[in-house]
């Protein structure tokens, strides 16, 4: 019996950072995001021994550990955490295939967590709902493995589609009421550009959380700006009024300025070069996806200048990623 799963990558429009504890528990947080047609795939098959054998197609790497191993200082520690928390006792062959590189800024590690937990859920009939799977993924990453970060990636990957997600003591995933026309126009205006670089988001999130710990005024104001941006974006998207869509691009810019103020590690000269070039040739606003430091820029262009922007970004080394919105979240199936 082979069990296979896939979980999508997410694109966050606004509110990222406000989903981190303890800030969101004490003050409330919110994000607006969607998922795209790029996935992390997991294939698993049971073994006759007590070993977990992992093969990453993308990295062309193999790794093996015994069931019950809690040494999280090694590679593939995420797999150890999931196997331990779900109390899996069997040996497994696990194959990973990701359609985007690690450190892309689109929640890939959480998509991987959701895909693996989803596959194990079906393989062992654990009875976990989408919400349970997302919460388990969060608990494993943040509590078991002690990696800094927020809630949004796990829930976006599990649910899929356009959502406004609120974070307090609980997580409330609210599907957006958005027309096909709005989705299509938003799709047409957006550019996804890979700018290179790599980040370990936990390091950046750690610096951001220090701002909250020391109650810096600038931090509090920036977080409020990020929440306001997410709320305003929701109003624009659900208005289904294409005439005011330029305001969405301007909000992306406002959110990017607020996010950069949280940490010196979020942006750098390379990222700024790409962003300022795009603004020069017709982009109204944009943001770096993920915690920062590298990955993908999401840019909102004037419609008649989109392809000029793409040409200019490619001239300076940007790699344009063609994508489409994907309304589906986690999917799991068995091969008998």
Which residues are known catalytic residues? 153
Query: What phi and psi values does residue 49 have, to the nearest 5 degrees?
Result: -115, -165
CB-CB contact of 165 with 178 (8 Å) = no
CA distances to 109, 128, 155, 329 from 132, in Å = 17, 5, 10, 14
Give the DSSP per-residue string, 75-135. TTHHHHHHHHHTT--S-EEEEEEESS-TT-SS-HHHHHHHHHHHHHHHHTT----HHHHHH
Structure tokens at 225: 């700006």
Residue 62 CB neighbour total at 10 angstroms: 10
Closest alpha carbon to 97 in 43, 145, 164, 152: 43
CB-CB contact of 171 with 151 (8 Å) = yes
CA distances to 70, 82, 133, 225, 305 from 128, in Å = 24, 14, 6, 35, 46
Closest alpha carbon to 286 in 181, 189, 154: 189
């Amino acid at each position: 019996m082979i069990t296979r799963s896939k979980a999508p990558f997410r694109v966050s429009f606004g509110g990222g950072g406000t989903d981190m504890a303890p800030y969101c528990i004490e003050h409330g947080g919110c994000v607006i995001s969607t998922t795209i047609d790029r996935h992390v795939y997991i294939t698993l098959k049971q073994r006759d021994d007590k070993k977990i054998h992992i093969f990453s197609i993308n990295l062309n790497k193999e790794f093996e550990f015994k069931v019950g191993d809690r040494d999280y200082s090694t590679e593939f520690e995420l797999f150890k955490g999931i196997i331990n928390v779900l109390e899996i006792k069997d040996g497994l062959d696990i194959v990973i295939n990701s359609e985007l590189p690690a450190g892309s800024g689109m929640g890939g590690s959480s998509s991987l967590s959701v895909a693996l937990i989803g596959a194990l859920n079906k393989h062992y009939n654990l009875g976990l709902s989408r919400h349970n799977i997302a919460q388990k993924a969060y608990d494993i990453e943040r509590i078991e493995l002690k990696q800094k970060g927020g809630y949004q990636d796990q829930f976006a990957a599990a649910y899929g589609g356009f959502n406004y997600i609120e974070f307090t003591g609980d997580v409330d995933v609210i599907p957006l009421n958005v027309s096909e026309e709005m989705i299509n126009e938003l799709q047409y205006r957006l550019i996804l550009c890979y700018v290179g670089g790599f980040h370990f988001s936990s390091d950046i999130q750690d610096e951001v959380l220090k701002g909250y710990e020391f109650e810096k005024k600038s931090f509090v104001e920036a977080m409020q700006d990020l929440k306001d941006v997410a709320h305003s974006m929701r109003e624009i998207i659900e208005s289904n009024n294409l005439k005011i869509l330029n305001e969405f691009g301007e909000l992306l810019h406002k959110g990017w300025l607020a996010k950069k103020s949280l940490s010196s590690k979020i942006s750098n000269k390379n990222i700024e070069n790409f962003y300022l070039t795009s603004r020069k040739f017709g982009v109204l606003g944009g943001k770096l996806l993920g915690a920062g430091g590298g990955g993908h820029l999401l840019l909102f262009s004037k419609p008649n200048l989109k392809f000029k922007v793409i040409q200019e970004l490619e001239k300076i080394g940007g790699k344009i990623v063609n994508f489409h919105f994907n309304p589906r979240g986690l999917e799991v199936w068995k091969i008998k």
